[in-house]
Each structure stands twice: as C-alpha cells, then as structure tokens.
Amino acid sequence: MTGSQFIALNIAVLTISDTRGEAEDKSGKLIRERLESAGHHCAEKVIVRDDKYEIREVVSRWIREPGINAIVSTGGTGITGRDGTPEAIRPLLDKEIEGFGEMFRNLSYQEIKTSTLQSRALAGVANSTFIFVLPGSSGACALAWESLIVEQLDNRTKPCNLVMLMPRLNET
C-alpha cells in the first residue's frame, strides 16, 4: 500500500431511525454521496429501527464480510430513551478509537456550542473493519465526514491513515 495510488474502499452505510424511511433519510444519503464522491464504493445501505439487536445483527454481518472495509452509521447517538447505537456497537468492537469522539465533539462545539455534550459519537475497529458511529443530523454527518473520516479513509493521507491498518486489503 505504498505510493500515491488511491485505494477505493467498500463502505457500508447504516441509518438507525424509528421514524425515517428511505425518502426521509437525508443523513444516510449524504454519507453515501460523500463516500462515492471521494471515490469509494457503497457496499450496502440499510435502515434499521433503534433496537440494539437489529443494529448488532446488521453490523455483525458486515464485519464478517471480507469485502466490507468500513461502516458508517448515523442516528441513535443521543441521550433519549431510544438512543442506543453506542450500546449496540461498542460490545462488537475489538478496539475503540477514543480520539474520534473527542475530536468530533471538539469540532462540533464550534457549530453547536455546549449541545455537543449530548453527542455520543464514537469509532472503533472490529474484525479489521473500521466503524464510525455518527449522530443522526445531516450537519453532524457532513462535519464528521469532511473533518475526520474522509482523510483517514484515504491511503494518501500522511503521515498515517486507517487504510494503512486494514489487513484485508493486503490479503487479496
């Protein structure tokens, strides 16, 4: 994986919502558009209810799939009674990337001030698949993608990036 040749990844998109269907899924559409604009492939896009077992079912299937390099989820990261995405995904992670949530909240503070305290955005890796758990607002998804994710999923980003750490890319 040396050199400056771009490596297109297969990224799955998961929207967690009890109220949105495909027509109303602005955040999932935004993520798909941004990843495709960056040169990556949308491996699959799914909407599930905010139910930790439904979330785990989809994410578990994707992390077993060798053709999926990363997962970006949107929704269910708040602190209301039904928001359970971090609790659903955290037990699946082999390692959590604590800096992602910290950086996201720091960047988000510039736009929404102390309301960012309510965000439980996180990232980690499970079975060599990187997972990003984002809030449900399209603004938050755009901020996370443009400020953090796009560069870390670009093998040309120096001095380091997450693509360099994806052993599945070296297996083929």
pLDDT band at 115 (very low <50, low <70, confident <90, very high): confident
pLDDT tens for each residue of 12-34: 999 999 988 899 999 999 999 99
Amino acid at 77: T
For residue 20, tell me if it sits in a domain. Answer: yes
pLDDT band at 171 (very low <50, low <70, confident <90, very high): low
pLDDT of res. 10? 98
Based on DSSP, count helices (H) and strands (E) in the chain, helices before strands. Answer: 7, 6
For residue 1, tell me if it sits in a domain. Answer: no
> Using CA atoms, how far apart are residues 71 and 149, in angstroms rounded to an integer?
11
Report how many domains make up the chain.
1
Specify the CATH number for the domain of residue 62.
3.40.980.10
Rounded to an integer, the average pLDDT of 162-172 is 79
- The structure's pTM equals 0.95
For residue 5, tell me if it sits in a domain. Answer: no
- Per 3-state DSSP, the chain is made up of helix, strand and coil in percentages (nearest 5) of 45, 20, 35
Residue 1 pLDDT greater than 80, yes or no: no
Q: Are 55 and 71 within 8 A, CB to CB? A: no
Q: Which of 79, 138, 143, 136 is nearest to 110 (CA)?
A: 143
For residue 62, tell me if it sits in a domain. Answer: yes
> Using CA atoms, how far apart are residues 73 and 50, in angstroms rounded to an integer?
12
Pairing of strands 129-134, 122-126: antiparallel
Rounded to an integer, the average pLDDT of 101-114 is 95
Domain that holds residue 145: 10-171
Q: Are 111 and 139 within 8 A, CB to CB? A: yes
pLDDT of res. 39? 98
For residue 100, tell me if it sits in a domain. Answer: yes
pLDDT band at 3 (very low <50, low <70, confident <90, very high): low
